[in-house]
């Protein structure tokens, strides 16, 4: 094999395959960046959902306490008189 033939083989095989590997690696790193963004969004959504769940639980506890207090008040004092409907 002559030097010219060797250079042809290198230019036909090695250089394009190196370019393909570089392109592939750039795509992989781009996907890694996208994945990190998605993970950050999901983490933020989970934290937001957790805060909303805690707020709903606190509101339910407050409503439950108010209902219990109202029930005890009705049990002690009887039910309030019914309003006349118009």
d(CA 73, CA 5): 101
pLDDT in tens, 15-46: 777 778 888 889 999 999 999 999 999 999 99
SS (H, E, C) the chain: CCHHHHHHHHHHHHHHHHHHHHHHHHHHHHHHHHHHHHHHHHHHHHHHHHHHHHHHHHHHHHHHHHHHHHHHHHHHHCCCCCCCCC
d(CA 55, CA 49): 10
Q: Any idea where the domains of the chain sit in the sequence?
A: 39-73
pTM, full prediction: 0.56
**What was the pLDDT predicted at 38?**
97
């Amino acid at each position: 094999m002559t030097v010219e033939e060797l250079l042809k083989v290198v230019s036909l095989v090695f250089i394009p395959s190196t370019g393909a590997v570089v392109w592939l690696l750039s795509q992989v790193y781009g996907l890694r960046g996208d994945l990190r963004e998605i993970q950050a969004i999901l983490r933020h959504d989970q934290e937001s959902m957790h805060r909303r769940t805690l707020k709903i639980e606190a509101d339910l506890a407050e409503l439950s306490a108010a209902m219990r207090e109202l029930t005890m008040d009705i049990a002690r004092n009887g039910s309030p008189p019914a309003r006349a409907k118009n």
